[in-house]
Amino acid sequence: MGPKTTKVYETLRERLASGQYAAGDKFPSERTLSEELGIGRTALRQVLARLVSEGALEVRGRSSYLVPGAVTVKTPEGLEPWQIHGERDLYDNQWVKLQLWDVEPPGVERFEHHVVKLQHVAITAVVDDQDRVLMMWRYRFVPQRFGWELPGGIVDAGEEAAETAMREVVEETGWRPNSVEHVVTYQPMVGMVDSPHEIFVAYGAKKVGEPTDLEEAGHIEWVPLADIPGLMARGELLGSGTLVALLHILATRGKQGVTAAR
């Protein structure tokens, strides 16, 4: 895409990422967008086709588009939450807190349950215009294995998760994303561990230098998205944040299946 088409793409991407349109909303017509943004219909369709390929839009009819993500399943009602009667610390430092909570599930006698509190984390998948994702080949001493990972790290006090996402990509890879979009916040071990993981996706990045976080940085490579199912089958994607982000990208691009390990 040329400079003008790229600018229109980034404008529409930003509108979608900001929540200006809700899931299930009809996107403005091609005529409306063409007149508003000062772009020809042919070039605009190129932009819209890219947004569809990235899962940011869905096609409805010949030239109608919807914002994806509408949900038909209803939230169950009438269920009672667990009652929490108290908590006490067993161990606490800047990295991990171990507690015992006095809990009472509905219809069950109350008991003490271990709870582990870890840090708030942000992880980013950066995708380029060649359908490649920015990854690092790193050694993790706990499982004692090498594997591919996305850049990410701890959200500092007073820092927004999106700021962390951007900062960590730069520090660990030397590439600066054009922008980051929030995908989901999840808990990797929801039954016992409290550690919010925030997943971001970025489209496009600029090389701004070399990695500055030498402890976290590893071998850096733009990995084809087509390779991701095979890497997953080979067990080379170790972190849950990496898996969640990459599976989101593959799902929104209509990829299916997992190849056998080679």
User: Which residues of the chain, if any, have pLDDT below 70?
Assistant: 1, 217, 254-262
**pLDDT tens across 121-152, in order?**
999 999 998 999 999 999 999 999 999 999 99
Taking the C-alpha atoms of residue 175 and residue 17, their distance in angstroms, rounded to an integer, is 21
User: Model's pTM, two decimal places?
Assistant: 0.77
What's the confidence (pLDDT) of residue 1? Answer: 65
What's the confidence (pLDDT) of residue 138? Answer: 93
Q: How many angstroms separate the first and last alpha carbons of the chain?
A: 36
For residue 203, list its beta bridge partners: 127
What's the confidence (pLDDT) of residue 261? Answer: 36
Q: Tell me the residue type at 187.
A: Q
What's the confidence (pLDDT) of residue 201? Answer: 95
Q: Is 24 helix (H, G, I), strand (E, B) or coil?
A: coil
Q: Which long-range contacts (CB under 8 A, 24 or more apart) does 74-79 make?
A: 79/106
Q: Evaluate the CA torsion angle 209, 222, 202, 142 in order and state its sign.
A: negative
Taking the C-alpha atoms of residue 160 and residue 36, their distance in angstroms, rounded to an integer, is 32
H/E run at residue 84: strand 83-92
Enumerate domains of the chain plus CATH numbers.
3-66 (1.10.10.10), 83-117 (no CATH), 121-252 (3.90.79.10)
Residue 219: which of 164, 161, 250, 174 has the closest Cα?
174
